[in-house]
Amino acid sequence: MVSIKPIRDLIIIVNQRTEIMKRIFLILIGILIALTMNAQDAKAILQKVDDNMSSRNRVFESTMTIHGKRSSRTITSRSYAEGEKQSFTEYLSPARDQGTKMLKLKDQLWIYSPASDRTIQISGHLLRQSVMGSDLSYEDMMEDRKLTDVYGVKIVGVETIEGRKTTILELIAVLDDVAYYKRKMWIDAERFIPLKEELYAKGGQLLKRTTLTDVKQLQGRWFPTTIVYKDMLKEGKGTEFKITGIKFDQELPAYIFTKAALKK
């Protein structure tokens, strides 16, 4: 006579294992859905930021204060920008920089110096040099790809910055030729503008921090008018960029974004 007890036990064990497997599967599906939703949410936030910060064109006047170890100096300029691809900047003061003009057309950058009456194209390693001694490099100005095209994004937390609730996004590069492998952005949860950004090296070292303040409503959109760039490896207070006046979606003459405009 064959005992059926071992067979029954086996069936029970198999049933239990199947149940566990089912649960694990459901949990994994749940995590995957949560991650996808997180990524979608994060991407949507980033898209809103892009929409809020970008415009057909803009004209603005600004001051850039470079804080050195011993002293600080302020440079004022007027800029015209069309999308992220084209921009033209004319430096207005101090006297030694007055008349210097900078033109960016897609991935090319030219600088006109009135002292030598020459136009120089900034390329290769020159792009890595600092702009007027600030914490910004020419290359930082040249970045014109959309963050959503270059980075994979996820929400990693929430934080309150100066009374504003922010969502923290973590951006990890999905392409190889990206200057900063990782970015962290603190996005105002209501206005969808970045209030803080950190740029990291591949190894995880914090390289630069940008703080955006004085958020104002301009032509129906929220816009930060003071940006402090800080090279975190260097001593000093960083570079303060203040927008003193800005107008969006203006009628800009086409000649502004030509090399001929540099010598005008």
Q: Where along the sequence are the contacts to other proteins (CB under 8 A)?
A: 124-126, 128, 173, 176-181, 199, 201-203, 205, 207, 231, 233-236
Say whether the peptide bond before residue 94 is cis (omega within 30 degrees of 0).
yes
CB of 126 to other proteins, least distance (A): 8
**Cβ nearer to other proteins, comparing 180 with 192:** 180
* Min dist. Cβ of residue 257 to other proteins (A): 26
Pick the closer one to other proteins by CB: 5 or 125.
Answer: 125
Question: Cα–chain-centroid distance for residue 63?
Answer: 20
Q: Is 112 exposed, middle or buried (0-12, 13-18, 19+ CB in 10 A)?
A: buried
Is the peptide bond prior to 224 cis by the omega test (within 30 degrees of 0)?
no
Q: What would the two tokens of residue 152 be?
A: 């994979």
Residue 156 has, within 13 A of its CA and on its CB side, a CA count of 11
Q: Which is nearer to other proteins, 66 or 199 (CB)?
A: 199
Cα radius of gyration (the chain): 26
> Nearer to other proteins by C-beta: 128 or 165?
128
CB of 206 vs other proteins, minimal distance in Å: 9
Using an 8 Å Cβ cutoff, are 195 and 214 in contact?
no
For residue 175, the minimal CB distance to other proteins (Å) is 9
The nearest distance, CB 130 to other proteins, in angstroms, is 9
Taking the complex as a whole, the smallest distance from the CB of residue 169 to other proteins amounts, in Å, to 19
Listed residue (104, 98, 96, 100) closest to 121, CA to CA: 104
Our CB check for other proteins shows the closer of 124 and 163 to be: 124
Alpha helices in 145-250 (DSSP H): 147-150
Residue number, 118 or 234, with CB nearest to other proteins: 234
Task: Evaluate the CA torsion angle 91, 95, 97, 103 in order and state its sign.
Answer: positive
Helix (H) or strand (E) holding 33: helix 5-53
- What's the token pair of residue 194? 């970045």
- What is the distance between the alpha carbons of residues 26 and 18, in angstroms, rounded to a whole number? 12
Report, in Å, the least distance between residue 261 CB and other proteins.
Answer: 27
Residue number, 143 or 162, with CB nearest to other proteins: 143
